[in-house]
Amino acid sequence: MAFQDVLKDLQDFDINDLDVENIGSWPTSIKIIVWSIAFIAVLAAGYFYDVAELQEKLAAEQRSEADLKTQFERKAFQAANLDAYRKQMVEMEESFGALVSQLPSDTEVPGLLEDITNRGLASGLDINTINLGNETQQEFYVELPIQIVVQGNYHDLGGFVSGIAGLPRIVTLHDFSIKQSGDSSRLIMNITAKTYRYKDMEEER
């Protein structure tokens, strides 16, 4: 159909003349326009209900691919350093075992008190008191404070502190105070020593 014919049909067109129940009787140019509009509407509906959904799925797959790539790179790095990790774990287990071996058991506490007393006497100090405090439960160990009061000159006190620090068991020193005694040449030191023991299975429950 020539373009001029289409224009003529549109000029002569009156929407009231269209019989919806008899579309075949419509002018050819009107049918072409209606079918074109219907075709465009179908394409638009297909895009919004199908293509748009596919684009969202594609974007989600692309994000998932990026996450998987990141995970792969991390696991590849871990696999490449697996031997180093295993070696580090062995070293940590050995270090942990060495630390645990330095934690006294209940039966070794009297021996530890004897060692502290001997260190004081060897440093030339007078031992006023050595008293056990109450145990404090921590996550993996039990802390036992020991209150110590000794008397001697400045250098003897320093030798005693060094001796305690050199014990084979873990002993830490806290909250010390020094004051003058009645004898001007001697000092009284009050100090708290803390030792530790590993929790047994029953205490961890």
DSSP letters for 140-190: SEEEEEEEEEEEE-HHHHHHHHHHHHTSSS-EEEEEEEEEE-SSTT-EEEE
Q: Report, as an integer, the average pLDDT of 131-158.
A: 88
Give the CATH fold of the 104-204 domain: Alpha-Beta Plaits (3.30.70)
Do 193 and 164 contact (CB within 8 A), yes or no? yes
pLDDT of the residue at 59: 82
For residue 121, the one-letter residue type is L
C-alpha to C-alpha distances, 180 to 71, 152, 160, nearest whole angstrom:
66, 10, 17
Burial of 9 (0-12, 13-18, 19+ CB in 10 A): middle
- Report which listed range, 1-15, 21-35, 74-88, 159-173, is most confident: 159-173
Higher pLDDT, 5 or 190: 190
DSSP E strand boundaries for the chain: 126-132, 136-137, 141-152, 171-180, 187-198
Give the position of tokens 């019989």: 19
Q: What is the pLDDT of residue 107?
A: 52
Which of the pair, 16 or 140, is modelled with greater confidence? Answer: 140
pLDDT (average), residues 113-117: 90
**What is the reported pTM?**
0.49
CA-based nearest residue to 158, from 125, 131, 183, 184:
125
Q: 187-198 and 141-152: which strand pairing?
A: antiparallel
The percentage of residues in the chain with a pLDDT greater than 90, rounded to a whole number, is 20
C-alpha dihedral sign at 195, 126, 130, 184: negative
